[in-house]
Each structure stands twice: as C-alpha cells, then as structure tokens.
C-alpha cells in the first residue's frame, strides 16, 4: 500500500486540519518471552477450564498447538502523523496490507 509522505489531517492540539508528516511508527524494544503481563495472561488461559491448567501452562506453554500462528501474511501497520504546526504526533492504524511504502 502506498501512503503519501504529507497528509492533511485533524490535529487535536491545533483543533483544525493541518499538514501532517507521515512516518511508520517504530516498534519499541522486544519484551521478554515471559514478562509479567504475558505470565499472567498465560496463567489465565489455564484457569476456568476443568481442573488445573490441562497442560496449557508450563515452561514452554501450549499456545502454539491450539492457536493458529503464522497464518496471515499481512500486517496492520501503525503510521505516525506529526503535525507541522505544533510538532505533536498521533498514531493512525492502517488496514491490513503486505507492505506499506511512503512516497
């Protein structure tokens, strides 16, 4: 999908339509495999189903066997729109596409 580098969009801070510079939002540092949030999430998956976690939670986790990973070939990309007047930015989600190119 081709996206223009300059785009008119509403700025919440200026309260009007202004020119925005478009860039792809950088993804931050990668979280560890089992940080607090993911540990709680993995544990919750084992709860509420029968007795114990039915082997759904362990050092490896059984997610891969009952969740379809790697099926989709496209991604929903985030764009960063920076207002040219006040220099503040916001994020805009793009629809599913294989590749986003700025032009």
Q: Which residues bind Zn ion (CB under 5 A)?
A: 11, 13-14, 83, 85-86
CB of 19 or CB of 78, closer to Zn ion: 19
Distance in Å, CB of 8 to Zn ion, minimum: 12
Cα 73 versus chain centre, distance = 15
Q: Report the residue number, 53 or 89, with the smaller CB distance to Zn ion.
A: 89
d(CA 92, CA 22): 10
Shortest distance, position 14 Cβ to Zn ion, whole Å: 3
* Measured distance between the N- and C-terminal CA atoms of the chain, rounded to whole angstroms: 10
3-state secondary structure of 40: helix
Backbone angles phi, psi at 43, to 5 degrees: -70, -40
- What's the chain's length in residues? 103
The residue among 11 and 79 lying less far from Zn ion, judged by its C-beta, is 11
Q: Least distance from C-beta 88 to Zn ion, angstroms?
A: 6
């Amino acid at each position: 999908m081709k996206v223009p580098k300059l785009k008119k969009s509403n700025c919440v801070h200026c309260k009007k339509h202004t020119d925005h510079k478009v860039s792809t939002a950088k993804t931050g540092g990668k979280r560890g495999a089992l940080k607090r949030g993911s540990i709680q999430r993995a544990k919750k998956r084992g709860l509420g189903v029968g007795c114990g976690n039915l082997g759904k939670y362990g050092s490896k986790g059984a997610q891969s066997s009952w969740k379809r990973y790697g099926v989709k070939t496209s991604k929903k990309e985030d764009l960063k729109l920076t207002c040219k007047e006040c220099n503040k930015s916001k994020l805009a989600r793009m629809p599913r596409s294989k590749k986003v190119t700025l032009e």
